[in-house]
Structure 1
Amino acid sequence: MFLVIAVVSAIAVAMTHTVTLFSGQHSWYNLSGKGSDVPCLKCHADIGAEMNTTGAHVNVACDGCHRTDESVGYASDWEGNIEPGQGGHSASTEECMICHTRTAPTNFTHYYLGDECSDCHYYSGPLPFIAPAAGGFDLTGDTGDTGEKAAHLIFVQESLEDPLMEGANEACVQCHTEVSVNVSYYIPQGYKIELNRECGWEVNISCYNFTYVEGS
């Protein structure tokens, strides 16, 4: 009899702890056309704090960038029609250049946003303000944007080919955020120059005696 009472008591205690353990761990979020109430800062508080200190983005909600590509197909409950999401659930990673070009982004949409127009656009003259173009790297579509004089052109071009982030975001993030960067490179200690004047001047320049440098 005492054994039965002990077993029942143990089960009751275990069930109480189980209910307590899972309490509040499952919540439903609104993914309607008024924006998402998913608590992004629950995981990305450091990014949120940094964004709130940079003037251009201080009034832009998370979904102002991460739920703006209509080609993705996000989860939603627009007008009660449940959509679980296809290309993305609550958010997607987008290229910084989706806004920072001189041309209008083809897939950008305000469909999911409840933000005010003035959060990103304001009138200061005959034309509405748009995000400044990230020129100097041959990425904006501007005919004068050749990037031929850019000191970091190769870095940006290599970022375009790297699968880690979208587009050239690796370069954007490493310069324009507080993320830690570890750079390894080789510095030439000497140059060899050969001149040939047989049929006009021909100059060949090569490097030698490289020194490995690592910094952050």
Structure 2
Amino acid sequence: MSVSGRVLLGIVILLAVGVLVLPSTVSLFAGQHDWYNIDNPENDIPCQKCHADVFDELSNSPYHINFSGGTANQADEADCGACHQAAAVVGGGLTLANGSGAFGSPGKEAHAAASISCMWCHGYPGNFTAPTAGGFGISGDPADTGAYAAHRPWVLSAMADNPANNTDLLTGPNEACIGCHTHVAVRINWTHAVSLEFNATNTGTGWTTENYNANGTAVRIVWGNAEGTGGLLYNGTTTKSWGTGTWP
């Protein structure tokens, strides 16, 4: 075999070996055999590795960043675990996986983190000294009737978690909780009554009014952005806005 033939054969052999070997080589990720230690009771897995956006929001908030086991006034894994692990176990009665012991224990309703309800901590009495979300008639406080709560229908609808009318987006009343208490943008399609209708009768000595009704309907689309400003679209024709914010 000539020199050029041997060179060509060598190239073919190298290519064949590359086809067989390289796929198994590049499929190995750096660090994939360096396991996190989960033997300790606290959360040892860095949540921010995947949830950097959530970690950034939490780091810029003065709330939910001072749970025990972590650094004061600074977001860390202890804060993540306080809500999505401890609250799930204590308030929600869930069983999560635990790495402690020789073989640990498996999770049941959730593995390492759960989608929690705000009320698991903010019910009555509040777990972990959390303030009670009273005034809706749902906290468990005997004095909590919620009789005059303007937002009670919203909270109760969110709590229903009914797939038939799409109220199961989040757990429990969380849609209402975050809609008011966080910077999440909202867009609401309101159906309002157009006018108040009633009868007014002159009795000769004064006036009486009765038969109060709401007359007609009008649709208003209201949006509120993350900056806390908003605007509306009235019956598709009239627009009005407040502030300088933009959607979302």
Shorter-normalised TM-score: what interval? Answer: 0.7 to 0.9
1:62 aligns with 2:80: yes
The one-letter code matched in structure 1 to 2:80 is C
Identify the residue that residue 44 of structure 2 maps to in structure 1: 37
Say which one has the larger Rg.
Answer: 2
The unaligned stretches of length 5 or more in structure 2 are 1-5, 68-78, 161-166, 202-208, 225-248
Counterpart of 1:115? none
AA of the residue aligned to 1:185: W
**3-state SS of the aligned residue for 1:80?**
coil
State the one-letter code of the partner of 2:192: I
Equivalence for 1:24: 30
Any conservation in 2 of the 1:195–1:202 contact (CA below 8 Å)?
A: yes
Task: Indicate whether 1:182 and 2:204 are aligned.
Answer: no
Residues 16 and 144 of structure 1: is their aligned pair in 2 closer, same or farther, counting only changes over 3 Å? same
1:32-111 alignment, distance < 5 Å:
32-60=39-67, 61-68=79-86, 69-70=88-89, 71-103=93-125
Q: SS at 2:124's partner residue?
A: coil
Query: 1:172 corresponds to which residue?
Result: 177
161-170 vs 35-44, greater mean Cα deviation: 35-44
Q: Deviations over 1:105-163 (max 9, x none)?
A: 5xxxxxxxxxxxxxx6xxxxxxxxx1111122112122332222222111111110122
User: Could you say what the CA RMSD is over the residues aligned between the two structures, in angstroms?
Assistant: 2.8
Return the alpha-carbon distance in structure 1 between the equivalents of residues 219 and 25 of structure 2.
Answer: 61
Q: TM-score, normalised by structure 1?
A: 0.73
Counterpart contact for 1:189–1:211, Cα < 8 Å = no
Q: Which amino acid is the alignment partner of residue 223 of structure 2?
A: G
CA separation of 1:142 and 1:2: change in aligned 2, threshold 3 A: same
Q: Compared with structure 1, are the counterparts of its residues 18 and 138 closer, same or farther at alpha carbon in structure 2 (3 Å cutoff)?
A: same
> Mean alpha-carbon deviation: is it higher for 22-31 or for 130-139?
22-31
The 1-side partners of 2:146 and 2:18 are apart by 68
TM-score under structure 2 normalisation? 0.65
> In 2 relative to 1, CA 139–30 (structure 1 residues): closer, same or farther, beyond 3 Å?
farther
Structure 1 stretch displaced more, 42-51 or 11-20: 11-20
Task: Count matched residues.
Answer: 190
> What is the rounded CA distance, in whole Å, between the counterparts of 1:144 and 1:35 in structure 2?
36
Shift of 1:184: 1.2
**Which of the pair has the greater relative contact order for Cα pairs under 8 Å at 6+ separation?**
1
Aligned to 1:209: 217
Q: Distance in 1 between matches of 2:31 and 2:16?
A: 22
